[in-house]
Amino acid sequence: MTIMMQNWTGMRNWTGAKRASGMRLVLGALTASAAMALTSLTPAHATFEAGVQAYMNGQYSQAIDIWRRFAVAGDVRSKKILGDIYSGKTLEGASAAATPLEEIPVDNVQALLWYSLAAYHDFTAYQTPSAEEVNARILAEQRLPEIRARMSTNDVNKAEKLVSQTFEAGSAYDIYRLGDMYQKGAGVEKDNTRALQMYALAKERGVGEASAAYEFLEPLMGPKEIKKALADAEKWQPPLPPEHTGKTRQQEELERLKKELEEIKMADALRAVSDIDVELVQRALNALGFRAGVVDNQLGPSTRAAIRRFQYSTVARDRDMTEDEKQAIVTGVLTPRQTVDLFADAADADHPMSQYVYGIMHVRGIGVEQDGQQAVSWLEKAADQNLAIAHYALGVVFRDGTTGLNEVAPDERKSALHLAQASALGYRPANDALRRLSFESTRDIQ
Shared-domain flag, residues 138 and 216: yes
- Asked whether 441 and 402 are in contact (CB, 8 A), the reply is no
Shared-domain flag, residues 234 and 278: no
- Tell me the residue length of the chain: 446
Positive/negative CA dihedral, 199, 170, 165, 236? negative
Lowest mean pLDDT among 263-272, 404-413, 425-434: 263-272
Domain of 44, in residue numbers: 16-243
Shared-domain flag, residues 322 and 372: yes
Q: Is residue 424 assigned to a domain?
A: yes
Shared-domain flag, residues 208 and 338: no
Q: Is residue 9 assigned to a domain?
A: no
Query: Could you give the CA distance from residue 294 to residue 166 in angstroms, rounded to a whole number?
Result: 59
* Pure H helices in 87-222: 100-103, 108-119, 131-149, 153-168, 172-184, 192-204, 208-217
- Asked whether 43 and 83 are in contact (CB, 8 A), the reply is no
Among candidate residues 205, 227, 243, the one where a domain is terminated:
243
Residue 273 DSSP label: G
Among candidate residues 192, 222, 243, the one where a domain is terminated:
243
Shared-domain flag, residues 65 and 180: yes
337 or 255, which is more confident: 337
The mean pLDDT of 109-128, rounded to a whole number, is: 82
SS3 297: coil
Confidence band of 21 (pLDDT split at 50, 70, 90): very low
Shared-domain flag, residues 94 and 225: yes
Q: Is residue 255 assigned to a domain?
A: no
> Which residues, including other chains, have CB under 8 Å from residue 172's CB and lie 6 or more apart?
14, 201, 202, 205, 206, 207, 210
Number of domains in the chain: 2
Is residue 23 pLDDT above 80, yes or no? no
Query: Could you give the CA distance from residue 106 to residue 135 in angstroms, rounded to a whole number?
Result: 24
- Residue 3's pLDDT is 30
Confidence band of 445 (pLDDT split at 50, 70, 90): very low
> Which residues, including other chains, have CB under 8 Å from residue 32's CB and lie 6 or more apart?
21
Shared-domain flag, residues 50 and 114: yes
Amino acid, res. 118: A
Confidence band of 379 (pLDDT split at 50, 70, 90): very high
Shared-domain flag, residues 215 and 315: no
197 or 433, which is more confident: 197
- Asked whether 430 and 423 are in contact (CB, 8 A), the reply is yes
- Residue 284's pLDDT is 93
Is residue 338 pLDDT above 90, yes or no? no
- Residue 247's pLDDT is 59
Nearest to 166 by CA among 21, 378, 373, 16: 21
Shared-domain flag, residues 290 and 223: no
- Residue 372's pLDDT is 92
- With 0-12 / 13-18 / 19 or more C-beta atoms within 10 angstroms meaning exposed / middle / buried, residue 295 is middle
Percentage of residues in the chain having pLDDT higher than 70: 74
- Residue 95's pLDDT is 56
- Residue 31's pLDDT is 32
- Asked whether 355 and 384 are in contact (CB, 8 A), the reply is no
Q: Is residue 8 assigned to a domain?
A: no
- 241 phi and psi, to 5 degrees? -65, 160
SS3 170: coil
- Residue 99's pLDDT is 54
The most distant pair of C-alpha atoms in the chain lies apart, rounded to whole Å, by 95
Q: How many CB atoms lie within 10 A of CB 229?
A: 26
Q: Is residue 24 assigned to a domain?
A: yes
Q: Is residue 133 assigned to a domain?
A: yes
Q: Is residue 22 assigned to a domain?
A: yes
- Residue 151's pLDDT is 87
- Residue 273's pLDDT is 72
Secondary structure of 414-437 in HEC code, one letter for each residue: HHHHHHHHHHHCCCCHHHHHHHHH
Shared-domain flag, residues 130 and 195: yes
- Residue 57's pLDDT is 84
351 or 430, which is more confident: 351
Shared-domain flag, residues 131 and 60: yes
Confidence band of 13 (pLDDT split at 50, 70, 90): very low
Shared-domain flag, residues 163 and 299: no
Residue 371 DSSP label: B
Tell me the pLDDT of the chain averaged across its residues. 78
Lowest mean pLDDT among 33-47, 102-116, 182-196, 364-378: 33-47
Q: Is residue 257 assigned to a domain?
A: no
Amino acid, res. 362: H
62 or 245, which is more confident: 62
DSSP track, 213-230? HHHHHGGGS-HHHHHHHH
Confidence band of 248 (pLDDT split at 50, 70, 90): low
Whichever domain contains 299, its CATH number is 1.25.40.10
- Asked whether 90 and 102 are in contact (CB, 8 A), the reply is no
Percentage of residues in the chain having pLDDT higher than 90: 32
Lowest mean pLDDT among 50-54, 138-142, 412-416: 50-54
C-alpha distances in Å from residue 366, one per residue of 144, 299, 387, 388, 416: 43, 21, 21, 22, 26
Among candidate residues 243, 263, 290, the one where a domain is terminated:
243
Residue-wise pLDDT for 396-409, tens only, equals 999 999 888 888 99
